[in-house]
Amino acid sequence: MNGKYDDIINLPRHISQTHKPMPIPDRAAQFAPFAALTGYDEAVRETSRLTDARRDLDETQKAVLNEKLRILCEYTDKYSEITVTYFVPDKKKSGGEYVTVCGTVRKFDNYECKLILQDGTEILFKDITELDSELFDRFDIE
């Protein structure tokens, strides 16, 4: 053999006396593929996430809902346990989702037109699509 590196090819591999050898999984990790497009996977997930469109209530549904809110406001001291379905707009794209919560009414904020529950949940009147309470059984409301 008359190669260029014949003088060093058979020398023993250097082993450091001060540093421990790197574990095999860590050595392999340094050759793992890197994310050339950072944020791409998140963008794809966000695009594929579905949202609901806001449903418009007809005049009859609005009238029934307004009557329920009026009754609930008037009798809130005695019968304040309610179930509310309301629309929550999405912060990143058009649409949103409908959420149903059960809770106790803390107060009605007529200035900002919202319902506040004991747990701190604030629901705008305009976002409410359904309202239910045992209180409504006493009245002739469908």
Tell me, what's the pLDDT at 64?
A: 92
Higher pLDDT, 9 or 85: 85
| Predicted confidence (pLDDT) at residue 83 exceeds the cutoff of 90 | yes
Tell me, what's the pLDDT at 79?
A: 59
DSSP for the chain, written as a single string:
---TTTTTTTSPPP--SSSPPPPHHHHHHTTS---SSTTHHHHHHHHH---BPPPPPPHHHHHHHHHHHHHHHHTTTT--EEEEEEEEE-SSSS-EEEEEEEEEEEEEETTTTEEEETTS-EEEGGGEEEEE-GGGGGTT--
* pTM, to two decimals: 0.66
Report residue 86: phi and psi, to 5°. Answer: -145, 165
β-strand partners of 101: 84
